[in-house]
Structure 1
Amino acid sequence: MSLHVRDLTIGVDLGGTKIAAGIVDPDGKVLSHMRIPTPHQPEAVGDAVAWAVDLVREDWDGVCAVGIGAAGYVDEGRSTVRFAPNLGWHDKPLRDLVQKQSGLPTAVENDANAAAWGEFLYGAAADHDDMVMVTVGTELGGGVVIAGELFRGRFGMGGEIGHYRAVPDGRPCGCGQRGCIEQYASGTAHTRRAREAAKADPRRAARILALGDGTPDGIEGRHVTQAAEDGDPLALELFEQTGHWVGQALADLASILDPAVFVLGGGVGDTGELLRRPAEAAYHARLGGGENRIHSEVVTATVGPDAGLIGAAALARLL
């Protein structure tokens, strides 16, 4: 027997390794959830998304639209994924494909933008009209909300905060530039610094190494977090270093956008005070104008790992 709830939408979180889909109600509650691996073949991914939509709606009536958060550059019409390196896509008409197979109005949005919208509506920024979400994960992503509207830019590709150049001629970035803030403030950079520290001084990194396979290259972000939670001095120092770069990013963004609140999310961002505290301190120290400025709040995301799915479903409700 099918279940019916008015104004349900489907949210999809499309990444390089998994496709998550869920039925979401107007209050942001996920009523039904499923997950499948992302196919390795780029040409099969669109059909897999449509299949996930069909599977998750199987026992539900009243679903009115689909929202998809995709890891890549999405055009201004929320229809085409212009470029998604993790999916092997160029100019993929994802909206039309899913819309045709599902029979439901569909919108496509960048995954970080979708997560920011979910956090703005239902999470740590729900009491504010202006916010910037910074996702400190494998990459450095984010989303911007201004006066209650998701800022997308003229061509739909605004909010790519990981790719402003923080260090002239610095570390090479996958986007083709050098010195992008992502190379210093992301989870990947955090883990890289841990591995470099372990290679330079294995004795000092003994606790972190013991949590992995005993080799520097075996260190993962979760090992650094565990060691820091145990009070390990090196792990805490690594969070200070990453917090320094995240705080620099917040200061730069505040100089341009002046939001009410910064929301930290992503794998490293979700470590609570381990990252939030040093990031906030660095932001205060580096914001131009110093004591003459009002500082934005710096808080940790609260919606959780389904923020992108929930945000995409909420955007679908606007169709």
Structure 2
Amino acid sequence: MRAIGIDIGGTKIAGAVVDELGNILAQDRRPTSASDPQVIEDTVVDMVRTLELGHDIQTVGVAAAGFIDAAQSVVYYAPNINWRHEPFREKLEARLNKHILIENDANAAGWAEFRFGAGRLVSDMVTLTIGTGVGGAIVSGDRLFRGGFGAAGEIGHLRVVPGGLPCGCGAHGCIEQYGSGRALQRMANELADAGGIGQALAARRARHGTLDGVDIAELIQAGDPGALAALRQLGGWIGQAAASLAAVLDPQMFVIGGGVAQSGDLLLDPIRLAFLEALPARGYHPEPEFRIAELVNDAGVVGAADLARGLAEVH
């Protein structure tokens, strides 16, 4: 059974027809404005109608950043889109006459990795998506864990530093402020300010006026000691958070995705080290595997489509 997956971001919408093996058969991508919910709705409807041409599509999965209710129907809060208690599934079903599922984007991406990517051989895994923020997804006993209200898996808001840096969620000390792409930029800038091993970072900042993710990634790949030190700091925080998650969830695997994960073992090595240092009952507690995500930019649409296919099979 083929399904359509839609992944709504802050500046673009991606869509794809996906088969039962996770293969993308057709795809589309369009820019959009996060400030206008009606434009987003219209774009999704038009994208589905375009993608379904030549395919027998009965079900559509839509992934978006935000809190989705337990029925995968209402977006009751989206940080980057002007949605508050938005009955998005009801609106789309009325216009498209198909089964619709609404899912958190990190959940959709994590499910894709579980079904078709790095986690396909395990039953219990945690995905951490290291991008601008920190996204997360939990699979337990071959099932996506959504929680009693549908809002589980917000791993980016696990508190790692009581009274720490303020977070956009309103709390302080969340792992998103220490283990995200933005955190990596902050750490790189601090090293640039300090001189010493941060000299190349400071020179790059002086030429470009700022240090963005591309600058830091290039210096990491070039083996710059300052950029690598910032990456090790980042990995250390992620590893500590993973140890806390392991104490509660006992996953067989952690899958690390997002743009920063392109650093591969340069990121995984400090994550593993910090994880083992913080792991309760180290030496007696089984140690999970850490792997880099495999599906990268396609994970959201593939996961959304597969979850929607499962909903259709139930009906």
TM range (shorter): over 0.9
Question: Do the aligned partners of 2:73 and 2:102 also contact (CA within 8 Å) in 1?
Answer: yes
**What amino acid does structure 1 have at the position aligned with 2:262?**
D
1:63-78 matched pairs, under 5 angstroms: 63-78=57-72
Contact 1:30 1:310 in 2 (8 A): yes
What's the RMSD between the two structures over aligned residues?
Answer: 1.5
1:55–1:205 distance in 2 versus 1, CA, 3 Å: farther
Which residue matches 2:50? 55
Identity of aligned residues (%): 42
Mapped to 2, the partners of 1:262 and 1:194 lie a distance apart of 25
Quote the residue 1:176 is aligned against.
170
Matches within 5 A, 1:195-210: 195-201=189-195, 204-209=197-202
Q: CA deviation at 1:207?
A: 3.1
Return the offset for 1:85. Answer: 1.7
| Structure 1 contact 270–301 (Cα < 8 Å) conserved | no
Question: Which residue, out of 204, 209, 216, partners 1:224?
Answer: 216
In structure 2, C-alpha distance between the alignment counterparts of 1:177 and 1:41, rounded to whole Å: 24
Offset of 1:209 from its aligned partner? 4.9
In the alignment, structure 1 residue 236 sits paired with structure 2 residue 231: no
Residue by residue, what CA displacement relative to the aligned partner does 1:250-303 show, whole Å, maximum 9, x if unpaired? 101001101010000011123211211111111111101111211111111111
Q: Distance in 1 between matches of 2:125 and 2:203?
A: 39
- Structure 1 counterpart of 2:40: 45
When the two structures are superposed, what TM-score results if normalisation uses the length of structure 2? 0.95
Asked if 1:194 is matched to 2:182, the reply is no
* Distance in 2 (alpha carbons) for counterparts of 1:60 and 1:281: 50
SS in 1 for 2:156: helix
How far the C-alpha of 1:226 sits from its partner, in A, is: 1.3
Cα distance change on mapping 1:119 and 1:10 into 2, 3 Å: same
Counterpart secondary structure, 2:263: coil
Deviation of residue 60 (structure 1)? 2.1
Q: CA deviation at 1:205?
A: 3.4
Give the conservation status (yes or no) of the 8 Å contact 2:15–2:29: yes
Superposition pairs of residues 143-292 of structure 1, within 5 angstroms? 143-201=137-195, 204-209=197-202, 214-215=207-208, 218-292=210-284
- Higher mean alpha-carbon deviation, 267-276 vs 134-143, is at 267-276
2 CA distance for matches of 1:126 and 1:221?
30
Given residue 254 of structure 2, which amino acid in structure 1 is its aligned partner?
F
Q: Separation in 2 of the partners of 1:140 and 1:125?
A: 19
Aligned to 1:294, the other structure's residue is in SS state coil
Structure 1 CA distance for aligned equivalents of residues 181 and 159 of structure 2: 17
**Contact 1:69/1:111 (8 A) holds in 2:** yes
Instruction: Give the match for residue 3 of structure 1.
Output: none
Question: What is the aligned counterpart of 1:108 among 102, 105, 126?
Answer: 102
The CA deviation at 1:204 is 4.1
CA change 1:213–1:82 in 2 (3 A) is: farther
- Residue aligning to 1:309: 301
Mark the runs of 5 or more structure 2 residues left unpaired by the alignment: none
What is the SS of the residue equivalent to 2:119?
A: coil
Name the aligned partner's letter for residue 207 of structure 1: A
Q: Is the 8 A contact 2:125 2:138 kept in 1?
A: yes
Q: Distance in 2 between matches of 1:268 and 1:37?
A: 23
The one-letter amino acid of 2:292's match is: T
Secondary structure in 1 aligned to 2:14? Answer: strand
Q: Tell me by how many angstroms 1:40 deviates.
A: 4.2
* Number of aligned residue pairs: 310
* Higher fraction of strand: 1
Q: How far off is 1:63 after superposition?
A: 1.1
Aligned amino acid, residue 42 of structure 1: D
Distance in 2 separating the partners of 1:227 and 1:263: 24
